[in-house]
Amino acid sequence: MSADRRKVGEAPQFIKCNPLSRFFPPDWKDVWFRRMTDRGEDGIAWYECPLCNRRFDHRDIDYLQGDHVWPYSLFGDTSWANYQLICGACNLAKRDLLEIEIRLALGSGEFRRMVSQFLRAQVEAGKLSESSFIPTY
């Protein structure tokens, strides 16, 4: 667990989240913001976007957006462990971006073979139809 993850702590137990939902619970934004702010010399609690380092006070919270670290479109779950709070500009620019090392690993033949084997097992278990199956690698 990274230092930032230790600082933010565990998911709030009183806010329910469906891991298959596309959207994070709206109340997570405020919890994350409050746990991750630092007080400036002016006494104001400042939140810093982890991607661009721009600072926001609580009046700007509507400009911040809950974001999937591992993109939802690439099967990232909607969970506290996969949550980050970033500014709207960074979220728009990030879209479905993955780190280059992850992209290279996912593009390898080994990963494709693993997915193919998993899908074949799903067909054999009757959970997928043969027509929906991707060819074997």
| Residue pLDDT, tens place only, 13-52 | 899 999 989 999 999 999 999 999 999 899 999 999 999 9
CA distances from 109 to 7, 100, 106, 112, 113 (A): 38, 16, 8, 5, 6
Cβ(29)–Cβ(70) below 8 Å: no
For residue 68 the two structure tokens come to 């999937």
Q: What is the pLDDT of residue 136?
A: 55
Alpha-carbon dihedral 123, 129, 131, 136, rounded to 10 degrees: -10
Cβ(78)–Cβ(72) below 8 Å: yes
Task: Tell me the average confidence (pLDDT) per consecutive run of 10 residues in the chain, 137 residues long.
Answer: 69 91 94 93 93 94 93 86 94 77 73 81 86 60
